[in-house]
Amino acid sequence: MYRVDDEQRRTRLGRRHLLAPSVRTASAVAVADAVVALHATDAATVHLSVCARLTDPGAATVERALYEDVSLVRLLSMRNTLFVVSRDLAPAVDASNARAVAAKERRKLLKHLREDGNGLDERWLADTERQTLAVLTARGHATGSDLSAVVPALRTKITVFPGTKQKAVQGVASRVIRVLAAEGHIRRGRPRGSWTSSQFRWTASAPWPASDPAEARAEVAGRWLHSYGPATEGDLAWWTGWGVRETRAALAAVGAEEVLLDRGAVGWAAPGDLDAEPPPEPWAALLPGLDPSAMGWRDRGFHLPADHRAALFDRAGNIGPTVWWNGRIVGGWAHRADGELVWRLLSDVGDDATQLIEAEAARLSAWLGTSRITPRFRTPLERELTA
Query: What would the mean pLDDT of 360-371 be, rounded to a whole number?
Result: 96
Mean pLDDT of the chain: 96
What integer pLDDT is reported at residue 79 of this predicted model?
95
Number of domains within the chain: 1
Asked if pLDDT for residue 270 goes beyond 90, the answer is yes
Query: What would the mean pLDDT of 133-159 be, rounded to a whole number?
Result: 95
| Separation of alpha carbons 236 and 296, rounded Å | 8
What integer pLDDT is reported at residue 239 of this predicted model?
98
- Quote the domain boundaries for residue 308: 284-386
What integer pLDDT is reported at residue 43 of this predicted model?
94
Does 2 map to a domain?
Answer: no
Does 333 map to a domain?
Answer: yes
**Amino acid letter for position 153:** A
Does 74 map to a domain?
Answer: no
Asked if pLDDT for residue 358 goes beyond 90, the answer is yes
Does 172 map to a domain?
Answer: no
Band (pLDDT 50/70/90 cuts) for residue 119 is confident
pTM reported for the whole predicted model: 0.95
Alpha carbon separation from 72 to 80, 250, 287 (Å, rounded): 19, 25, 20
Q: Which of 66, 172, 151, 156 is nearest to 142 (CA)?
A: 151
Query: What would the mean pLDDT of 58-64 be, rounded to a whole number?
Result: 97
| Separation of alpha carbons 380 and 46, rounded Å | 22
- 287 neighbors 293 (Cβ within 8 angstroms): yes
Interior angle at CA 79, CA 289 and CA 127, nearest 5: 110
Does 231 map to a domain?
Answer: no
Does 343 map to a domain?
Answer: yes
Does 354 map to a domain?
Answer: yes
E strands within 72-207? 72-76, 82-86, 157-160, 168-171, 186-191, 200-204
Asked if pLDDT for residue 244 goes beyond 90, the answer is yes
Does 127 map to a domain?
Answer: no
CB neighbours (10 Å) of residue 244? 10
Give yes or no for a cis peptide into 230 (omega within 30° of 0).
yes
Asked if pLDDT for residue 342 goes beyond 90, the answer is yes
Band (pLDDT 50/70/90 cuts) for residue 193 is confident
